[in-house]
Amino acid sequence: MPTLSWTVPNSPPAGAEAHVFASRFETRTLWGALRFLARTPAVRRQAGRAPGAYGATLRAQPLRRTFWTLSVWESAAALKEFARSGAHRPTSRALADQMRDVRFATWQACAGELPVSWEEATRRLT
């Protein structure tokens, strides 16, 4: 699966600070990777209409059982609300036992620096 295009549900105001969130997931098994992929469309739809979302994308290497997410939010509270609602909440709970290695990174970025590059996200996740 290639990298999914950058979805921009809401444009940030010029000069605004944004909350960036990056993650890396490695599943224990190929079955876990397939379960992750099967749930991706619903979570992507949710991100595409989430209040406070400025952008989101996913990079997947299912045969290597590795996935990366990159999203930008109005605030940490907007990200938290997204994570605790809609399709994301049951998905994260259902897949928790499938995860072998999970990493997260958050930082602030100016609206003019968006979208954030995968290189920057990868650097912050290592």
Q: Which band of pLDDT confidence, cut at 50, 70 and 90, is reported for residue 8?
A: confident
How many angstroms from the chain centroid is the CA of residue 25? Answer: 10
Asked whether the beta carbons of 22 and 63 are under 8 A apart, the reply is no
User: CA quadruple 77, 98, 87, 44: dihedral positive or negative?
Assistant: positive
How does pLDDT run across 61-115, given as a tens digit for each residue?
Answer: 999 999 999 999 999 999 999 999 999 999 999 999 999 999 999 999 999 999 9
The number of C-alpha atoms within 13 Å of 114 and in the hemisphere containing its C-beta is 30
Domain boundaries, the chain: 17-125
How does pLDDT run across 22-52, given as a tens digit for each residue?
Answer: 999 999 999 999 999 999 999 999 999 999 9
CATH of domain 17-125: 3.30.70.100
